[in-house]
Amino acid sequence: MWKRIRHRIELAGVKVLAALPGVLPHRFSVKAVGLLGALAFDLFRIRRAVTLENIERAFGGTIDKSERVRIGRRSYVNFAKSMAEFAIMGRLSRTALNRLVRFEGAEHFDAALSHGKGIIAVTGHFGSWELFGAAAAACGYPIDFLVGDQTNKLVDNLMNGIRNDAGIGIIARGIAARGVFQSLGNNRIVALLFDQDARKAGIFVDFFGTPASTFPGAAQFALRTGAPIIFSYIVRQPDESHVAYIQPPVYPDPGSEKEEEIARLTAAFTNELQGCATRHPDHYFWAHRRWKTKPAPPAERT
């Protein structure tokens, strides 16, 4: 009973936060909600220590403590702004979304879709990643998100409802393989995030010079279907608009040894994300324990 009550309280809180950006002009509301991110970092210090530790691990002695704090604070601000944009993206018109997000490299989506095998679009917890999907749908691209289940099913349904309202299809992780194959078979874009700690289900590739357990699913799906992998990301501009960048496609090599090819592809788009986080460190979500899982000692790998 307490679990049901807690879930309903959480749902009410999310609905209130989701309603706030809708009662104010877009840019003003986004900037206002960004202040909540600064409070979470400076006052409530939610995962602040993890964030600063991750930034130090990534950049080492190249930046001092004050710069690490500045990056951490701006990362929280950007995350809060991105959640505000997520809350309202289902209510924005196609015209409004097209004004809000400008695409560079859309020809790579067009060329890849012309082959009829769909696209595996990979990105990280970087910038306003949910808004990227809504903007792509507004441009007419058939896009599905591969999403994990939230612990609170009521909140999960609310979030997926927002995505559906924005024209984004949903593939639940419980039916991931079947849903992904079906989506690619229908020449759609499957968008997924790959940069959470994958624990024992992952393979280790370097991220800022440290091995990180990384989900190999994108590479595995590419090898099974022949679909290209396209790394994409979105960058906030000073006026709260965005530029979405679509990189050239990377195709799997079916003649290569399977495990080596999976490692190569996974390392390639992880390196792309590292480049983005290096150029725009305040856009990355540093609060996640990215390097939590450690590689097994050599004796255990044999």
* CATH number of the domain that residue 19 is part of: 3.40.1130
Residue 295 lies in a domain: no
Residues 190, 168: Cα–Cα separation, whole Å: 10
Assess if residue 291 is contained within a domain.
Answer: no
Residue 289 lies in a domain: no
Question: How many angstroms from the chain centroid is the CA of residue 10?
Answer: 23
Q: Are 114 and 147 in contact (CB under 8 A)?
A: no
* 89 falls within a domain: yes
CA distance 37 to 78: 7
Q: Are 97 and 135 in contact (CB under 8 A)?
A: yes
Position 22 scores a pLDDT of 67
Residues 109 and 141: beta-carbon distance below 8 Å: yes
Within a domain: 301: no
Q: What is the pLDDT of residue 176?
A: 80
In a domain, 298, yes or no: no
Res 7: pLDDT: 59
Structural domain of 87: 2-284
Q: Give me 55's structure tokens.
A: 């930034």
Contacts of 208 (CB under 8 A, 6+ apart): 57, 58, 59, 274, 277
Identify residue 133 by its one-letter amino acid code. G
Q: How many domains does the chain have?
A: 1
In a domain, 207, yes or no: yes
Q: What angle do CA 163, 10, 159 make, to 5 degrees?
A: 5
Q: What is the pTM of this model?
A: 0.93
Averaged over successive runs of 10 residues, the pLDDT of the chain (302 residues) comes to 68 68 78 90 95 97 96 96 91 94 98 98 98 98 91 85 96 85 97 95 97 97 97 97 98 95 97 98 97 84 53
Q: Residue 299 domain-assigned?
A: no
What does the CA dihedral 269, 273, 279, 285 come to, rounded to 10 degrees? Answer: 180
pLDDT given for residue 187 in this prediction? 98
